[in-house]
Structure 1
């Protein structure tokens, strides 16, 4: 288990999908949902999620890409993130 995540980390986790997305793609999703976030802060959160094995990092062309990992720990983290985001709404 990865423990409780911060509110911005919960939101970023929910922006991920099973397909590779660049940082710009994820930042666009954040802006679209009303949660603007700086590129540097977003990269820091994404790397944290990778270190917790909740996401994978790769390359999409010349850009870094991120996608959601798969497994019980990821499902539990997603459930926690959804609940936390709903509770804060």
Structure 2
């Protein structure tokens, strides 16, 4: 889901919990530190909108949300806290 990071930032500023539903196949086999560490998963859709010169556009089919902004993840592996996701990744990829 794109936009999770923005939603998590707003929820954090309002002291609200953030729950995410995600399939385990979406867990990356790496430890990203920010959005730039994720490689694009898909080619972005070209909507034919003209881009003014001097404007740099970033496109990404993935959205990195720092774990400190997430409360729980509802996955096909069960309900996980962000700290448990790394344990599940180790079990999935070993």
Same fold (TM over 0.5): no
Q: Which has the higher strand share?
A: 1
Q: Which has the higher helix share?
A: 1
TM-score, scaled relative to structure 1: 0.36
Which of the two has higher C-alpha Rg? 2
